[in-house]
Chains A and B, each alone.
Chain A
């Protein structure tokens, strides 16, 4: 399972020459770049479906970096944020990291440092997106189960034997066997261990 299209690096900085130079550097390192002069401009055009990372200036007029970070967090965005700051401002860097920043770099920033931070952030985002994709896949498989099959699944994951399950459900062992085969097939699980792993990721516990 792979993430859709290639990652985009968003650059938000109110100082045009710096925005241009960062964009050039990233493009020269073969990244797809989208640059914005302010937090508002970015919010207006940002498509949450696009993945990658955000290189964000901390100090900007009207809406600053920390505020944009909070807004994105509220909307449930997964975009990792690399902060760029002119001064090594400890209280604000701490706040930024607490709010889940991916990295915090001071200007002038060395290319290797920036690119490394961007690569880490993109990998993080890629992993996040992959996990999200897997989860939705598992949920989709779960959705195909009939209520009876779901019940059987929960007993199986709990480690109950077919006979025990039949007893619990008030049916015969042969019927449970058939349900169990359907569950394994629909969940694309080759063993009970795998079925347990899949259900755990969806936070489904056994009965």
Chain B
């Protein structure tokens, strides 16, 4: 075996090996076609080397002619795949140059098969064999084809393309790659110039076009090893960052999870398994997860998940998990959905955290708030006991007098039955009125959960005025109301809202206790605010006003300006309004007295209609 055979074969083998590597890489990363292109060009380079080796060992013109024609096929493949590779891998090279090369090279290939021998020779007359480096090699002797100039031009364009691409990469700052890949490209493009020189008889060497690619293969080999080294580094960093993440998750009591939606498999950290009471080896899917949910929360969780899967919105939920031993845990979960190219949800990743302690504290606080609100209601009721007794004594008096009148009418020989009927009607309606007062009182004194319901704010105002009517009369307070109709509904607990209003009205009356009769004017207004997103209620008095420095202090618990007051009224009012996502504040009037305002957000169902109305209006 000659050294020429060994060297050319080694070159081809090297090209094929790297082609194989890159093909394997492409198989795993289909989205990166540059690896396939490189693989193609390396195979073409190997083929060229094989052709050349064959040509070097040809002894006759008949043997040589088909080789010199068919070598253009791998050359065409090499040129095209290489240019495409440069454009994708280096993201450089001018488009027009690339298309010119594609066109010219393809034209060369077509012409190559039209001419009798090839694009390079019109005829090969002889094979000249001579000794080169101690080995006998064959070179063709014949008439060169003037159309071969096209091939030379394409070679020139390729050189320009390579230089331009290398400069672009260099300018971009990626100097290592510009030197390595760009440099080897330029080297190869220059080396390819031996072909026309041999054909024109300027130099006397055999063709070694296959070697023009050797430098590129070496450069790409280096790139590959570099990638491998980097991957190993990344893997190590990933490991460290995973450890850090786990540490952070553990210290934050976070349970991380991932739900493979396509296969319905749930992976979850050990922390998460213990959070939901799953055994370490148990296989988890969505149904297993669902089985841990509190029955009352199941529906809302399903809806939240479905919503995220449908819209891609962040999944967020707060729910109770029931552990196998019956223990209940409050958990808050958050997650993101990942979609595939077709927009189908494939994966959901997220974290859950145990908020049982916080929730218990919240419930405790809510309980205390409720107790305080109740206490405040009882206190207010105590202050209003006279008024309430009056409200009850009115219907009771009417009932008693009516009943006794009826007894007297019936004792008469000629009893007027029509009158007795009227009397009974009055008794029934008065009894109902008394029952209504009692019902309201019972509701008022009831300790219970807050029940928000959509209500007309004016109805609540009127209910309160009903309750305090006789008090206002006794205190000689003139009442004015501005209650516009068609206000949007608000979602409120009626008893709590009555409590707030009653407190404000009682305070307003107290503030005016020292005024002349004519000045005791109380104004209650309702309206909309914040562009229709909130309802506002104002209670205005003509009293002494509030010292500016106490404007906020009055809302603090146990702050009172009254001798009898406990000082919880306004602080409870503020808590109640805040729990309704509203705001309560006070301001002095321009002339005299103060006004208390509070807002309440419009009920969700009514929001749409309000905006529509506003738009039309």
Contact = CB atoms under 8 A, between A and B. Distances in A.
A163 B105 CA distance: 176
B395 A107 contact: no
Interface string B396-428: 111111101100110010000001000100100
Given A24-B402, A86-B389, A87-B386, A108 B397 contact: yes
A106 B401 CA distance: 13
B408 A111 contact: yes
Contacts of A27: 405
B394 interface: yes
B473 A86 contact: no
A87 B399 CA distance: 17
A18 B473 contact: no
B474 A111 contact: no
Interface residues of A, number: 25
A87 B390 contact: yes
Contacts of A17: 394-395, 398, 402, 426, 429-430
B405 A21 contact: yes
Contacts of B394: 15, 17-18, 86, 107
Contacts of A24: 401-402, 405, 409, 419, 423
Given A24-B402, A24-B419, A28-B405, A107 B397 contact: yes
Contacts of A18: 394, 397-398, 401
A107 B402 contact: no
Nearest to B427: A21
B510 to A, nearest CB: 19
A109 interface: yes
B386 A25 contact: no
B153 to A, nearest CB: 111
A49 interface: no
A167 B400 CA distance: 73
Contact of A28 (B395, B397, B412, B473): B412
B269 interface: no
A109 B401 contact: yes
Nearest to A111: B404
Interface in A75-90: 84, 86-87
Contacts of A64: 473
Contacts of B474: 59
Interface string B581-604: 000000000000000000000000
Contacts of B426: 17, 20-21
A13 to B, nearest CB: 9
A60 interface: yes
Interface in A48-64: 59-61, 64
Interface in A4-30: 15, 17-18, 20-22, 24-25, 27-29
A147 B509 CA distance: 66
Nearest to B400: A108
B307 interface: no
Interface string A16-46: 0110111011011100000000000000000
Interface residues on B, range: 20 to 34
B260 interface: no
Contact of A110 (B390, B398, B400, B409): B400
Contact of B393 (A28, A61, A87): A87
A59 B397 contact: no
B470 interface: yes
A87 B389 contact: yes
Nearest to A29: B408
A110 B404 CA distance: 8
A42 to B, nearest CB: 17
Contact of A109 (B386, B397, B430, B473): B397
A29 B7 CA distance: 141
A25 B389 contact: no
B150 to A, nearest CB: 113
Given A28-B412, A109-B397, A61 B386 contact: no
A27 B396 CA distance: 20
Nearest to B391: A86
A28 B430 CA distance: 20
Contacts of B419: 24
Interface string A100-114: 000000111111001
Nearest to A61: B473
Contacts of A84: 397
Looking at B401, B402, B408, B426, the one whose CB has the most chain A CB atoms below 10 A away is B401
A167 to B, nearest CB: 67
A22 B401 CA distance: 6
Looking at B399, B405, B426, the one whose CB has the most chain A CB atoms below 10 A away is B405
A15 B399 CA distance: 13
A183 to B, nearest CB: 53
A153 B405 CA distance: 56
Interface string A105-142: 01111110010000000000000000000000000000
B519 to A, nearest CB: 16
Given A20-B426, A21-B398, A59-B470, A107 B405 contact: no
A46 to B, nearest CB: 23
Contacts of B408: 25, 28-29, 111
Contacts of A114: 401
Nearest to B429: A17
Contacts of B409: 24, 28
B471 to A, nearest CB: 10
A94 B534 CA distance: 50
A109 B404 CA distance: 10
A108 B405 contact: no
A207 B315 CA distance: 114
Contact of B390 (A20, A61, A86): A86
8 contacts: A15-B398, A17-B402, A17-B426, A25-B404, A84-B397, A86-B389, A107-B396, A109-B400
Given A17-B429, A29-B408, 5 more contacts: A18-B398, A24-B409, A24-B419, A109-B401, A110-B400
Interface of A: 15, 17-18, 20-22, 24-25, 27-29, 59-61, 64, 84, 86-87, 106-111, 114
9 nearest interchain CB pairs? A28-B408, A21-B401, A107-B397, A111-B404, A24-B405, A108-B397, A86-B390, A25-B405, A21-B402
